[in-house]
A and B are shown apart, each in its own frame.
Chain A
Amino acid sequence: MSGLGRRRFLVGSAALAGGATVVACAAPERESQVQSFVLQPELSLPGQELWFATTCAHSSCGNSVVVRTIDGRAKKVEGNPAFPVNQGKLNVRSQAGVQSLYHPDRLTVPKRRRGLRGANEFEDLEWPAGLDLLTEKMSEARSVVVITGPISGTRARIARDFATAFGGEHLVYETLESTVWRKTVQDGLGARRLPYLDIANAHSILSFGADFLSTWLSPTQYGVGYGEFRQGHGERGRLIQVEPRMSLTGANADSWVYVHPGQEGALALSIAQVIAAEGLAPPDNWFGVVSEVGGLDALNAYAPDRVSQRTGVPVERIQEIAREFASHQPGFAIAGGPALASTNGLDNGLAAMLLNHMVGSVGQPGGLLPNPDLRSSVTPPTEPTSFADLAGRGNTWLEGEPPDVAIVFEADPVYGMPEATRFADALGKIPFVVGIGTIMSETLGHSHLVLPSSHAFEEWGDYVPDPAPRQHVVGLQQPVVRPTTSGRSFGDILLTLWHDLRPNLAPPWDTMRDAVRANAAEVFRGGDFEERWVELLKNGGGWNDDWAPEFRSSPNWHINLLAEPAFSDNGVEFPLHVIPFEGVALGGGDETANPWLQATPDPISTATWTTWVEMNPSTAAALNVSRGDVVRIETAHGEFEAGVYISPAAAPGVLGVPIGQGHTFGGRWREDRGSNVLASLAPLTVAGAGGLAWAATRARVRPTGDYRQLPTIEVLPNARNDVEEVIVQITNE
């Protein structure tokens, strides 16, 4: 028994005699170890579950989760019942976090690009070599740009201050950005923070395109309220959804109303006109407001008979909507989705906001309620950089003034920015781009250096939910498993660079954990902090009621400002409207690598795994195509292919196309699948807000002659849905 001491032998024997158990703290096989029952590692008892409160993603979606771990492995993600935003509930994407944690195609080591941009030729590096390369480039850099997704809390503070310390700026990229709604809230309510929608206590909701049950802002929070809205109180809430393409929220509405793209504001003003003309709300509520935004004469220009043709909504229907909305108060109107993604989107939003002022739902229970201002010690959630600003930066870089280094973290503008902006080329002008993420993306594929980041379940952080649930909330993120790759936290990478290169400007923390803890101590003062820290981690964060400012009494707007929407084409060469949409599972495309999410049926079409185009039967008949036919959709700025899905809810002349597919990077379940509609959009902006007018592109459709069976869950009696006939008809003959 040379080399095996008596003590080691006894431990081994005990393990074998007692039934050895293999314990690996969330580790792949190479890290597995034999562990006896007698000497258990901390927090690892066979079969015993442990629950950790944390968050599911780096973004500010606002959900807090509890993760069930067994033997150091994450098993299941559930809603944190204590957290005031999602109250124990969870949406599809948050639940899939465990699958992205253990994704087999995760980045495991740093990589340096060897080939051309986008050619996917990389060589592996050790971390020290990767960091040395980055440090070298940073030390030579005069300016640095940091591009991230919509991050929050301490992470956002570090990104912002880091960029400033290195003579640059922090840009926040969001696929379908919330810029226009934020500006609507600022101008319409005078609020700095997004309002709380009191859905649970509302008796009616009039939504202009806001898909709040699926992807808009904080869908889990809104879903909890929606259940109560429908069956939680005496009067069942009424939902009216106005939009050019039926969303999931539209599918759940009591009244779904088609409106021509970009005409939501005209319809909102027409509803306002009916409310005023028919006295559906007390004049004390609306007379002053209407006077401030242009007066009754301006409003009367939007009488139903004057806008019916323009909006595509019959006169009687406009009157019915006004009566239904005004007679079921309290309630509120909101705008989102395509309503805000037209060139006149901000005016559409403000017209909708006028309705809230008229029916008196601003600041009232069942209406729009103010969220508390953030304390000075809390870093506000990052506001997305508008499309116009981002495209403008790209133009500057193309014209020869790029920063020396770009650091990109969990943002994929190369995928999401329309090709017409040439953003990928602009990024290519930057001498050194480092991409940080858990899995390859188009933007990482264009980077010179790729650094693997830790997963949200492997790192420290904090976040400020936006919109907040009428409380002052700071959520905490903590590692729930040992890291499964060599990935490092984005915050830790920046802090390391900062201390190495600008030690005199660096913050006092060495790690993200120190930073998060220090900030928590600042935000949650009083008492013994050690005890409080443990309590905060157990609860997933801290929250309390706080003072909230009052809203402004009328929108800072004028009715005459409402413009006609502009489109990419006059409608002759490109006669059809393209309405891209985010699906409940794939969202903007950042989670497309996840097979659970790919396989989750789109609620409207029940389609999975591909890109389809929703088409009205009459539009399909005119094009001589049917279900499953592959068509080429051409815009003035690009083209892509999609399978036809005939939808009885699709409007004639409107093409609904899901966002999310069409990647060339990202692993086995994401690459070379479907098409990217965003690339072919016209680079039009929303006036006054700068957001991408993603609902303003027109297109034409050409059949390719190909057919591909659509991977849908629904089964139709029409055999075209299936490859073969399943029922054979037998007659007496």
Chain B
Amino acid sequence: MSSSANEAASRASAVSSMGQTIPTDAEVGHPEGVRWGMVVDLDRCTGCQACVVACQAENNIALNEEQRVLERRAKTWIRIERYWEGEFPNAKARFIPVLCQHCGNAPCETVCPVWATYHNNEGLNVQVYNRCIGTRFCANGCPYSVRYFNFWNPEWPEPMNNQLNPDVTVRTKGIIEKCTFCIQRINRVQVTAKTEGREIRSGEVQPACAQSCPTSALVFCDLNDPESAPAQLAEAEAGRSYTLLEHFGTDPGIIYLKKVDPHAEILEDDHAPAEAHA
């Protein structure tokens, strides 16, 4: 049995023994002690979209032609949501990058009938494309709307196919895809570190989004490593840190640091946008 199937089996037995409760990452534990995550400092984020294009380039995401946008079927593994607060002349725009939260207690994982999505032992919410049968239960279950269904086979008119990243599978019609935290980059660094007989260095793994971010608003890290700079940042900025829709109990692997607003007129703990985005 593969390690993922093993883990799925252990998770399944945990579910049955614990009744309604799904075990979190902390409860299951991580054999290798790693939980990949990200700290997103909204005070640094400018909404410039550099991460969005970096992700599309790295992960062979299909072209979002106009018709796809109009149909709400555009695929953006990471997107910048923009919320308005107030009216002119006191209108404020707020930006928040939203990607798969790699939840420790992911609603998408429990609903997949074929274990196409599962939680690996490094905290990643993994999508196995060749298991997926396209029920889209996971997309419906995800409160963050970060799972994207392939309604069509992607097309890159020649010679545009030359740009495709050979490390990343091109997804076909009928399956779900989503942010992988650039797992191909994680694997590459792990192999390199193993070959060189050493541990992975802090900051050595960089998903494409974090690498491109001009303001360093996105910082990838091992959330279980208390020595990592992002983990320390999240600790030091505890007053600003929160997770998205935390009341759902999904235990997200992405920690957001609130934007500082010296002229704030809303309650400090009010994250609710004036207009719903999605």
- Residues of A whose CB lies within 8 Å of any CB of B are 26, 28-29, 47, 70, 73-79, 86, 88-92, 95-96, 98-99, 101-104, 213-214, 219-220, 223-224, 226-227, 230-231, 236, 238, 246, 248-249, 251-252, 254-258, 484, 584-585, 595-601, 603-604, 606, 608-610, 616-617, 647-652, 669, 709, 711-717, 722-723
What CA separation (Å) do A596 and B61 show in the bound complex?
Answer: 10
Contact A717 B158 (CB under 8 A): no
Query: Residue-by-residue, is B67-107 near A (CB-CB < 8 Å gives 1, otherwise 0)?
Result: 00110101010011110101111011101000000000000
Min CB distance, B20 to chain A, in Å? Answer: 28
Minimum CB distance partner of B69 in chain A: A711
Docked CA distance A98–B162 (Å): 9
Please tell me if the beta carbons of A226 and B53 are within 8 angstroms of each other in the complex: no
Which of B41, B44, B217, B275 has the most chain A CB atoms closer than 10 A to its own CB? B44
**Is A711 within 8 A of B93, CB to CB?**
no
Which of A91, A585, A599, A716 has a CB less than 8 Å from the CB of B69?
A599
Q: Is A601 within 8 A of B49, CB to CB? A: yes
Q: Which of A88, A95, A223 contacts B215 (CB 8 A)?
A: A223
8 Å CB contacts to A: which residues of B150-167?
A: 157-166
| A90 and B260 contact, CB distance less than 8 A | no
B contact residues around A231 at 8 Å (CB): 41, 43-44
Choice from B159, B163, B216, B275 contacting A717 with Cβ under 8 Å: B275
Ranked nearest first, the 5 interchain pairs of A and B with the lowest CB-CB distance are A223-B214, A227-B215, A251-B93, A599-B64, A609-B66
Whether the pair A236, B260 counts as a contact (CB closer than 8 A) is: yes
Interface pair B44/A226, CB less than 8 Å apart: yes
Q: Are A714 and B263 in contact (CB under 8 A)?
A: no
Residue of A nearest to B211 (CB): A78
Given A26-B162, A90-B214, A714-B278, list of 14 further CB < 8 A pairs? A89-B50, A89-B213, A219-B214, A223-B46, A227-B217, A230-B215, A251-B47, A252-B95, A258-B88, A595-B64, A596-B53, A603-B80, A648-B88, A716-B275
Which residue from A47, A219, A254 sits with its C-beta under 8 Å from B262?
Answer: A254
Are B84's CB and A214's CB within 8 A? no
Residues A715 and B158 in contact in the complex (CB < 8 Å), given A76-B58, A595-B65: no
Does B277 contact A252, Cβ atoms closer than 8 Å?
Answer: no
B66 touches A610 (CB 8 A): yes
> Does B276 sit within 8 A of A, measured CB to CB?
yes
Which residues of A lie under 8 Å from residue B65 when comparing CB positions?
Answer: 595, 599, 609, 669
Docked CA distance A135–B136 (Å): 62
Are the C-beta atoms of B64 and A651 separated by less than 8 Å?
A: no
Known A78-B211, A99-B163, A254-B263; contact A248-B48, beta-carbon cutoff 8 A: yes
> Complex: how many Å from CA A669 to CA B277?
27
Q: Does the CB pair A104–B157 fall under 8 Å?
A: yes
What mask results when residues 101 to 143 of chain B are scored 1 for a CB within 8 Å of chain A, else 0?
Answer: 0000000000000000000000000000000000000000000
In the assembled complex, the Cα of A332 lies from the Cα of B229 at a distance in Å of 31
Would you call B212 an interface residue if the criterion is a C-beta within 8 Å of the partner chain's C-beta atoms? yes
Chain A contacts of B49 at CB under 8 A?
92, 584-585, 600-601, 603
Chain A contacts of B41 at CB under 8 A? 230-231
A28 to chain B, nearest CB (A): 5
Contact partners of B161 in chain A: CB under 8 A: 102
Chain B min CB distance to A383 (Å): 26
Are A29's CB and B158's CB within 8 A? Answer: yes
Q: Indicate whether A73 sits within 8 Å of B260 (C-beta atoms), given known contacts A92-B53, A709-B70.
A: no
Are B88 and A649 in contact, with the CB atoms below 8 A? yes
Q: Distance in Å from the Cβ of A327 to the closest Cβ of chain B?
A: 12
> Judging by beta carbons under 8 Å apart, are B162 and A73 in contact?
yes
Type the 1/0 row for B157-195, where 1 means its CB is closer than 8 Å to any CB of A: 111111111100000000000000000000000000000
Assembled-state Cα–Cα distance A679/B44 (Å): 37
* 21 contacting pairs across A/B (C-beta < 8 A): A78-B211, A89-B213, A90-B54, A92-B53, A96-B57, A98-B57, A102-B162, A224-B214, A236-B260, A484-B162, A585-B49, A599-B63, A600-B49, A600-B52, A603-B47, A608-B69, A609-B65, A711-B66, A713-B76, A715-B72, A715-B277
Closest to B276 in A: A717
Question: Is the beta-carbon distance between A89 and B64 smaller than 8 angstroms?
Answer: no
In whole Å, how far is A117's beta carbon from the nearest beta carbon of chain B? 29
In the complex, the chain B residue whose C-beta lies closest to that of A72 is: B162
B76 near A91 (CB under 8 angstroms)?
Answer: no
A482 CB to nearest chain B CB (Å) = 11
